[in-house]
């Protein structure tokens, strides 16, 4: 991450006012008239067909102020305002209303949700609130029915909640008024009006910065480019106390390193002077003239093909899928697959021990929020034409609601791929040419955590498979250097310093996205089964073969046995099964997790960032369901010390056999930058699958219809000319 901030002083003030003004909706006088085309703060830009079964814009408008329809629906604008009102008159907050760092639905107990049916009254609506008071993290529950705070805990251990936009703005303001920074900028030839600063989190590295909330500030030149990330003032780091609002440390060691030039850094289409050196492409589009086949009921219940699930935006996790159910291909009954799935943490360690770099070991979800940084998606480019957009309703540090517009898109995807096929070669008597096109449903969001953009996809297939994909784009976090070419670098042959432009090093780094996957295969009680692929040697005379692979099922009984590192030469499949739900053949119903390309963290387990992100010590963990164990790195991640991670929880070595279990999977990327990553990075993706194994009695897509020419749309070019 690296939430970016701009340091034109009057501008900062404007921004703060802007957030306050735009995103404050008085409870009873909700008025969207203030929104304009360029600041679409109000409504999802959806393209509704009248017969598509989707909610109209009016309905969506109502949802924001109206009543929730499902116990998992996020807090509405009205509910958030009510929470604020309750907190305002809460005795401990009377003297001073504390900054709110998280305010979201406190989900009802799982059993309550599972017992709830459409039409039942909603369980009491509650809010979970993280607030800072006197430098301490306060965790409160507010009951909206009782109109009062029902629990209030002051966390005495390490760790703070996510920083707020106000924190960032304030930190940058503090740094910017620091005279030494100004002197250094001027000495480096950067006009103060062109200084753009970002606010990396400090991590945690022992006692130096303990006991107070601090943040780092680093600055760049935005002269002649919007891509200030490529123009670092290297070696300059200001540590700011977020609560005292003062500079606590100032490092300025890189004055000899030139600020890299702006040339060829601007990535905006409007800033390009030369045309691309490739043939232009004719228009291409995924077309659905009868509209998409999904519906989104009450703004959150997505229904498509054989799937039903609840989808919502979350300020921290970005996007949460709940109660994913798939229709049985034989009985037509909806069956539970997953109670809850979301990106629980995102760990991004940079690989440079330099005093201006060592701390860059971000935990973006818990430090900055994947939802908080998920901007409006760009129609037609981020999502295809017939997408449906969903807003997030989040809370700013003053406790007021604001809208993150068009934050999630939902669309049907047809990529020219095949669902299943078979042909027979002509020597047999069967003239077989059977093939089915694959159409899927995607829910997508993109978090712009400073320089990096993370695109999160949940893709649902009609064969019961769920593909979870992360795509990375955006800008590199680069380091200024005196080197203009590799020949100037000592030990040139080793080239361990990736030079991506003149005076610009792309620092090596990793990304790890850890998913919380609360699988409920048919019911809550599930078991992890390892299907271990073992080489067996034949006995002399047994067979002309010397060896073969045997698939051995092993029930995993404890958390310890469920700490899994993937091994190419000692492979297993990992099934979450329901031992009580058997197919007609007696196979337990299950879903397996199917890893794709992956990378592991190589850091020392005692290295502070690895301790804090110890959830990346394995690719797979399984824990028994525990309401409080949602966040892989802990509830309070900012400056945390690693005492509330999966690695700690799972040390209890709880029994996980035939229990309500949660599967955790970490998707990793190593990134050694290259010149193609400058000035903007083409998307790199990886994914993993949740795939049914003996969940269905037989192939659930056997009876799917083929595409026929007669059903496909009739299209003409926009300009009418073919």
Q: Restricting to residues 415-444, which ones interact with a copy of itself according to CB under 8 A?
A: 415-439, 442
| Active-site residue, from 452, 591, 625, 665 | 452
Site for a copy of itself in 18-37 (CB under 8 A): 18-19
Measured CA to CA, the distance from residue 514 to residue 74 in angstroms comes to 23
**Which of the ranges 11-19, 80-88, 175-183, 241-249 carries the binding residues for a copy of itself, by CB under 8 A?**
11-19
CB neighbours of residue 26 within 10 Å: 10
Interatomic CA distance for residues 590 and 530, integer angstroms: 12
- 480 contacts a copy of itself (rule: CB under 8 A): no
Q: Is 419 exposed, middle or buried (0-12, 13-18, 19+ CB in 10 A)?
A: middle
CB-wise, 91 or 273, nearer to a copy of itself? 273
State yes or no: residue 703 binds a copy of itself (CB under 8 A).
yes
Catalytic residue among 266, 314, 364, 660: 364
- Beta strands 148-155 and 100-105, pairing class: unpaired
Out of 36, 51, 96, 117, point to the residue binding a copy of itself (CB under 8 A): 51
Token pair for residue 250? 């100032």
Told to check if 276 binds a copy of itself by CB under 8 A, we report yes
Residue 135's alpha-carbon distances to 63, 84, 168, in angstroms, are 36, 20, 16
Rounded to whole angstroms, how far apart are CA atoms 315 and 103?
A: 9
Return the structure tokens found at 560: 């310890």
Cα 218 to Cα 239: distance, rounded to the nearest angstrom: 9
DSSP code of residue 74: P
Only segment of 27-35, 310-318, 532-540, 630-638 that touches a copy of itself (CB under 8 A): 532-540
Q: Which residues from 362-391 bind a copy of itself, rule CB under 8 A?
A: 373, 375-385
Nearest-approach distance from CB 596 to a copy of itself, in angstroms:
4
Looking at 63-71, 95-103, 175-183, 690-698, which segment touches a copy of itself (CB under 8 A)?
A: 690-698
Give me the sheet containing 499-501, strands edge to edge: 478-480, 504-506, 499-501
Q: Which stretch binds a copy of itself (CB under 8 A): 146-154, 236-244, 636-644, 697-705?
A: 697-705
CB nearer to a copy of itself: give 307 or 625.
Answer: 307
Which residues, in sequence order, are CB contacts of 680 under 8 Å at separation 6+?
Answer: 227, 267, 473, 474, 475
Tell me the two tokens of residue 131.
């607030």
What DSSP letter does each residue of 355-371 carry, written as one string?
TTTTT-EEEHHHHT-TT
Closest approach, Cβ 443 to a copy of itself, in A, equals 12
Place of tokens 């409080």: 628
> What are 458's strand-pairing partners?
443, 468
Letters for 492-531 (x = contact with a copy of itself by CB under 8 A, - = none) are xxxxx-xxxxx-----x-x--------------------x
Contacting a copy of itself (CB under 8 A), which of 282, 322, 458, 620?
Answer: 282
Binding window for a copy of itself (CB under 8 A); candidates: 24-32, 119-127, 155-163, 712-720: 712-720
Distance spanning both ends of the chain, measured CA to CA: 46
CA dihedral 504, 255, 354, 369 (to 10 degrees): -70
717 binds a copy of itself (CB under 8 A): yes
Stated as kind and residue range, the H or E segment containing 466 is strand 466-474
The least CB distance from residue 686 to a copy of itself, in Å, is: 8
Shortest distance (Å) from residue 640 CB to a copy of itself: 15
Closest CA relative to residue 671, chosen from 440, 350, 296: 350
Interface of this chain with a copy of itself, residues 167 to 226, rule: CB under 8 A: 168-169, 196, 205-206, 208, 222, 226
605 vs 353: CA distance, rounded Å: 16
- Is residue 364 part of the annotated active site? The answer reads yes
Range in contact with a copy of itself (rule: CB under 8 A) among 84-92, 132-140, 298-306, 638-646? 298-306
Q: Which of 322, 321, 312, 342 is nearest to 407 (CA)?
A: 312
- Sole binder of a copy of itself in the list 535, 560, 651, 652 (CB under 8 A): 535
SS3 label, residue 200: coil
Whose tokens are 């509830």? That residue is 635
User: Quick one: which segment of 66-74, 98-106, 300-308, 312-320 binds a copy of itself (CB under 8 A)?
Assistant: 300-308
713 near a copy of itself, judged by CB under 8 A: yes
Tokens matching residue 195? 């200084």
Site for a copy of itself in 149-168 (CB under 8 A): 165, 168
Cβ distance to a copy of itself smaller for residue 109 or 208: 208
Alpha helices in 585-661 (DSSP H): 608-612, 646-649
Question: Can you tell me the distance from the alpha carbon of 8 to that of 452, in angstroms, rounded to the nearest whole number?
Answer: 23
**What residues form DSSP beta bridges with 346?**
513
| Of residues 242-271, those binding a copy of itself (CB under 8 A) | 264, 267-269
**Whole-angstrom distance, CA of residue 277 vs CA of residue 268:** 17
CA 284 to CA 579: how far, in whole Å?
A: 47
In the three-class reduction of DSSP (H, G, I as helix; E, B as strand; rest coil), residue 583 is classed as: coil
- Using the rule CB under 8 A, is 485 a contact of a copy of itself? yes
φ/ψ of 54, rounded to 5, equals -90, 160
Least gap, CB of 20 to a copy of itself (angstroms): 12
Q: Are 591 and 693 in contact (CB under 8 A)?
A: yes
Among 31, 37, 118, 274, indicate the residue that binds a copy of itself (CB under 8 A): 274
Q: Which of 121, 280, 490, 540 binds a copy of itself (CB under 8 A)?
A: 280
Which of these segments, 130-138, 240-248, 278-286, 514-522, binds a copy of itself (CB under 8 A)? 278-286
Is residue 460 involved in binding a copy of itself (CB under 8 A)? no
Q: Which of residues 323-362 bind a copy of itself (CB under 8 A)?
A: 327-332, 349, 351-355, 358-359, 361
Provide the minimum distance between the beta carbon of 707 and a copy of itself in the complex, in angstroms, as a whole number: 4
Closest CA to 31 of 403, 394, 409: 403
Q: How far is the CB of 709 from a copy of itself (least distance, A)?
A: 6
Residues 633-662 touching a copy of itself, rule: CB under 8 A, are none
Task: For a copy of itself, give the closer residue by CB, 142 or 408.
Answer: 408
> Binding segment for a copy of itself among 145-153, 175-183, 314-322, 702-710 (CB under 8 A)?
702-710
Out of 104, 237, 613, 686, the residue judged to bind a copy of itself by CB under 8 A: 686
Q: Does 571 bind a copy of itself (CB under 8 A)?
A: yes
Give bridge partners of residue 535 from the DSSP assignment: 549
397 is a site residue for a copy of itself (CB under 8 A):
no
Q: Is 309 in the site for a copy of itself (CB under 8 A)?
A: no
Nearer to a copy of itself among residue 156 and residue 606 (C-beta): 606
- If binding means CB under 8 A, how many residues of this protein chain bind a copy of itself? 224
Ramachandran angles phi, psi of 101, nearest 5°:
-105, -10
Q: Mark whether 73 is an active-site residue.
A: no
Does position 318 bind a copy of itself by CB under 8 A?
no
Least Cβ distance, residue 634 to a copy of itself (angstroms)? 20
Between CA 547 and CA 663 the distance in angstroms is: 33
Give residues with Cβ within 8 angstroms of 77, minimum separation 6. 25, 27, 30, 64, 65, 393, 401
Minimum CB distance to a copy of itself, residue 290 (Å): 4
Smallest distance, Å, CB 670 to a copy of itself?
A: 6
Residues annotated as catalytic are 364, 452
């Amino acid at each position: 991450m690296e939430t970016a901030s701009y340091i034109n002083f009057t501008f900062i003030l404007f921004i703060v006012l802007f957030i306050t003004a735009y995103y404050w909706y008085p409870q009873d006088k909700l008025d969207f008239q203030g929104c304009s085309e360029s600041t679409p703060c109000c409504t999802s830009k959806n393209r509704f067909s009248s017969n598509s079964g989707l909610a109209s814009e009016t309905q969506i408008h109502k949802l924001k102020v109206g009543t929730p329809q499902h116990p998992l629906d996020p807090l509405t604008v009205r509910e958030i305002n009510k929470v604020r009102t309750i907190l305002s008159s809460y005795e401990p907050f009377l003297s001073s209303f504390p900054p709110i760092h998280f305010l979201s639905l406190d989900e009802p107990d799982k059993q309550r949700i599972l017992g709830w049916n459409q039409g039942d009254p909603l369980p009491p609506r509650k809010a979970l609130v993280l607030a800072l008071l006197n430098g301490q993290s306060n965790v409160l529950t507010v009951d909206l029915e009782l109109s009062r705070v029902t629990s209030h805990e002051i966390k005495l251990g390490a760790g703070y909640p996510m920083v707020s936009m106000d924190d960032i703005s304030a930190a940058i303001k503090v740094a910017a008024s620091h005279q030494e920074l100004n002197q250094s900028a001027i000495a480096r030839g950067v006009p103060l009006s062109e200084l753009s600063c970002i606010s990396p989190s400090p991590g945690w590295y022992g006692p130096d910065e303990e006991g107070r909330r601090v943040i780092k500030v680093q600055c760049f030149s935005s002269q002649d480019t919007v891509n200030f990330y490529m123009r670092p003032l290297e070696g300059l780091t200001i540590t700011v106390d977020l609560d005292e609002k003062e500079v606590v440390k100032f490092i300025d060691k890189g004055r000899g390193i030139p600020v890299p030039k702006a040339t060829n850094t601007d990535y905006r289409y409007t800033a390009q002077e030369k045309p691309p050196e490739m043939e232009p492409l004719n228009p291409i589009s995924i077309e659905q003239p009868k509209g998409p086949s999904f519906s989104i009921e009450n703004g959150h219940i997505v229904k498509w093909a054989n799937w039903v699930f609840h989808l919502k935006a979350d300020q921290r996790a970005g996007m949460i899928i709940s109660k994913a159910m798939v229709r049985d291909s034989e009985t037509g009954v909806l069956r539970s697959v997953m109670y809850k799935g979301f990106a629980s943490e995102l760990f991004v360690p940079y690989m440079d021990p330099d005093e201006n770099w060592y701390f860059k070991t971000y935990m973006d979800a818990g430090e900055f929020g994947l939802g908080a940084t998920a901007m409006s998606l760009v129609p037609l480019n981020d999502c295809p034409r017939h997408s449906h957009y969903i807003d997030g309703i989040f809370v700013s540090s003053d406790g007021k609601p604001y809208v993150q517009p068009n934050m999630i898109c939902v669309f049907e995807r047809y990529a020219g791929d095949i669902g299943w096929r078979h042909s027979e070669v002509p020597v047999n008597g069967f003239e077989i040419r059977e093939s089915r096109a694959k159409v899927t449903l995607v829910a997508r969001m993109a978090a712009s955590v400073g320089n990096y953009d993370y695109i999160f996809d949940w893709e649902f297939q009609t064969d019961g498979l769920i593909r979870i994909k992360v795509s990375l784009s955006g800008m590199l976090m680069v380091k200024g250097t005196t080197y203009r070419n590799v020949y100037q670098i000592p030990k040139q042959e080793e080239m361990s310093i990736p030079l991506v432009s003149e005076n610009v090093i792309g620092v090596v780094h990793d990304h790890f996205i850890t998913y919380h996957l609360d699988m409920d295969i048919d019911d809550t009680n599930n078991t992890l089964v390892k299907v271990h692929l073992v080489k067996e040697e034949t006995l002399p005379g047994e067979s002309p073969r010397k060896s073969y692979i045997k698939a051995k099922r092993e029930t995993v009984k404890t958390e310890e046995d469920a700490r899994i590192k993937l091994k190419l030469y000692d492979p297993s499949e990992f099934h979450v099964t329901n031992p009580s739900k058997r197919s007609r053949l007696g196979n337990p119903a299950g879903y397996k997790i199917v890893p794709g390309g992956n990378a592991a963290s190589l850091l020392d387990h005692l290295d502070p960032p690895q301790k804090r992100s110890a959830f990346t010590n394995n690719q797979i963990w399984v824990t028994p369901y525990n309401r409080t164990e949602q966040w892989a790195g802990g509830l309070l991640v900012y400056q945390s010390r690693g005492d509330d991670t999966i690695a700690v929880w799972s040390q209890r070595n709880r029994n996980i056999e035939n229990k309500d279990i949660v599967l955790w999977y970490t998707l990793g990327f190593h990134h050694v930058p290259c010149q193609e990553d400058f000035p903007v990075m083409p998307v790199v993706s990886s994914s993993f699958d949740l795939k049914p194994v003996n969940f269905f009695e037989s192939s659930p897509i056997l009876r799917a219809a083929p595409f026929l020419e007669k059903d496909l749309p009739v299209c003409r070019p926009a300009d009418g000319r073919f």
